[in-house]
Amino acid sequence: MEILKQISESLEKGDFNRVGELTQQALDQGLDPKVILDDGLIAGMSIVGQKFKVHEIFLPDVLLAAKAMYAGMDLLKPLMIKENIPSIGKVVMGTVQGDLHDIGKNLVSIMLKGAGLDVIDLGNDVPPAKFVDTAISENADVIGISTLLTTTMPVMGEVVEMAKERGVYGKVKIIVGGAPLNADYAEQIGADAYCFDGVNAVDCVKRFLGAG
Amino acid sequence: MREIIEIDAGQISPSIESVLKCQGIPENAIPDTRILRLAEEAISLFEEHGRPKAILREITKKDFENIYRGEGKNAEETPIESIYNSSDFLALFAVTVGEDISTLISRLFQENDFAQGSMLDSVASESAEKSAQTVEAIYENYLRQRDSFPDSYGILRFSPGYCGWHLSAQKKLFDFLNPEEIGITLRESCLMEPLKSISGVIIVGMKEIFKFEDNYWFCAECEDHSCRERIEHVSNS
């Protein structure tokens, strides 16, 4: 459908005003919000993610596209909640206790939302129990933990241990990220994956959800 | 000497090229005009809202040894240890670009202005680095004025958390330097607030003492490798 293609193309260009206008037009034409989301916004964001992966575009381009995505999402989200349309999955995100660095975590959250996932952002300085308790109460599929400090890396392991204690380890997947981390460390603490950037996190979460 | 230094934000605002590099844009890439505009706007926001300050205090080798040891968690061998043991002058420093920038970055993200927020974050990181360079230059000038910095001397700074110097050494560094006076506080996790702050030691001595191969085990895990450039600069200065 032409309008969905236009939404996708405008999103790729980061034209948030146009994406907002076109999303409203699509709704006015009677299109299903889920179709607009999947075939317009997420389709556009997916192309953006692919271009970023092959270095055709760069981080600021992705973030401009994300702003455009949100302009459309702001119109669709209330309708989707009203009509009980489920998202493809839910992720609890946060920066570990003792750390206030949240740029990396924010960028990953933006990319996950852009892929159509529900993200519960707990912010920074988050105690281990809060990650696990929120994942249980919100019936989340994935916990995403971030840190930039070597001194707070062990707190990630505490989240994993707490997930084991509460009996959700394996059921709720745990992904970790941050400058001092690597895949070996993720494996060592029992996390399900190490994600090196937002696009990689999207691929990873989709794989866990069987949607990749 | 112990000095609190007010720095002009305009003096330490970074170049567009360095900001774009920080955003992961390769030097040979040609970013479009909207990205260049974002970078220019971020620099302008920094010049308006940045409140850079620094504190600098000389320290004896004996006092520094205790700070360097920290909580005994350093790597077994580090380049810093041999360098400071052969040095002639040492000074601790801390710099910050202020809390207002962190608040503004958060606000931009809350308003879905992600690209501008991320760009300002890069500007603030680069500016904090330039503030540290400024303090290093101030210390060098201070020594030159006292005829204590001959041409055969070099100057280099190191921070806890890098080059095998464990982050936990921050606690003793803060006890000695007291950067709270310029608004920097330290959390139990050794995280400095405001986030865009840098602390460490400035080491002065004969140029030869700074030469080392970056082939320690922790060098393999370091993504920065700015030491290569800085050591080369010392050798060529």
What are the structure tokens assigned to A153, written together? 């890396």
What confidence category does residue A24 fall into, taking pLDDT thresholds of 50, 70 and 90? very high
Q: Which residues of B touch A66 (CB under 8 A)?
A: 112, 114
User: Where, residue-wise, is CATH 3.40.50.280 in chain A?
Assistant: 90-209
Query: What per-residue confidence (pLDDT) applies to A212?
Result: 60
Residues A28-80 have pLDDT tens digits of 999 999 999 999 999 999 999 999 999 999 999 999 999 999 999 999 999 99
CA distance, residue A53 to nearest chain B CA (Å):
12
From B37, which residue of chain A is nearest by alpha-carbon distance? A60
Instruction: Report percent pLDDT > 70 for chain B.
Output: 98
A149/B109 touch (CB, cutoff 8 Å), yes or no:
no
> In whole angstroms, what separates CA A50 from the centre of its chain?
16
Amino acid type, A206? K
Chain B nearest C-alpha distance from A29 (Å)? 27
Q: Does B99 touch chain A (CB under 8 A)?
A: no
Contact A59 B25 (CB under 8 A): yes
Q: Lowest-confidence range among A99-103, B81-85, B231-235? A: B231-235
Q: Which of residues 15-54 of A touch B (CB under 8 A)?
A: none
What are the DSSP calls for B166-232, one per residue? -GGGHHHHHHHH-GGGGT-EE-TT--EESSSEEEEEEEEEEGGGG---S-SHHHHH-S--HHHHHHH
pLDDT at residue A104 is higher than 80: yes
More confident residue, A84 or A163: A163
For residues A121-131, give the mean pLDDT. Answer: 96
A183 touches chain B (CB under 8 A): no
Inter-chain touch A60–B38, beta carbons under 8 Å: yes
Q: Looking at chain A, which residues constitute the CATH 1.10.1240.10 domain(s)?
A: 2-82
Say if CB A118 and CB A142 are below 8 A apart.
no
Q: Which CATH architecture has domain A90-209?
A: 3-Layer(aba) Sandwich (3.40)
Answer yes or no: are the C-beta atoms of A49 and A111 closer than 8 Å.
yes
Shortest Cα–Cα distance, B31 to chain A (Å): 9
pTM of the complete model:
0.90
Q: Are strands A142-146 and B153-158 parallel, antiparallel or unpaired?
A: unpaired
Chain B residues with CB-CB distance to A151 below 8 A: 167-168, 189-191
Radius of gyration of chain A (CA): 17
Distances (CA, A) of A57 to A50, A199, B32, B80, B183: 9, 13, 10, 39, 39
Report residue A208 CA to chain centroid gap.
13
Residues of A with CB below 8 A from B195's CB?
100-101
Say if residue A38 is exposed, middle or buried (CB neighbours under 10 Å; 0-12, 13-18, 19+). Answer: middle
Does residue B171 have a pLDDT over 90?
yes
- Among candidate residues B9, B34, B35, the one with its CA nearest the CA of residue B23: B35
- Categorize the per-residue pLDDT at B182 as very low, low, confident or very high, splitting at 50, 70 and 90: very high
Task: Map residue A89 onto helix, strand or coil.
Answer: coil
Of all residues in chain A, what percent carry a pLDDT higher than 90?
A: 85
Residues B134-159 have pLDDT tens digits of 999 999 999 999 999 999 999 999 99
Cis peptide before B194 (omega within 30 of 0): yes
Q: What is the C-alpha separation between B53 and B192, in angstroms, rounded?
A: 14
pLDDT at B221: 72
| B115 contact A CB<8A | yes
Three-state SS sequence of A140-159: CCEEEEECCCCCCHHHHHHH
Binary contact (A98, B191; C-beta < 8 A): yes
CB contact under 8 A, A179 and B115: no
CATH topology of domain A2-82: 1.10.1240
Compute the nearest-CA separation of B168 from chain A (Å). Answer: 8
**Is residue A208 less than 8 Å (CB to CB) from chain B?**
no
Q: Are B223 and A179 an interchain contact pair (Cβ–Cβ within 8 Å)?
A: yes
57-116 in chain A: CB under 8 A from chain B: 58-61, 63-64, 66-67, 70-71, 97-103, 106-107, 110
pLDDT in tens, A142-187: 999 999 888 899 999 999 999 999 999 999 999 999 988 999 999 9
- Cβ of B167 within 8 Å of Cβ of A151? The answer is yes
User: Quick one: pLDDT band at residue A112, thresholds 50, 70, 90?
Assistant: very high
Residues 6+ apart with CB under 8 A from B215: none
> Per the CB < 8 Å rule, is A60 touching B188?
no
- Predicted confidence at residue B14, as pLDDT, reads 96
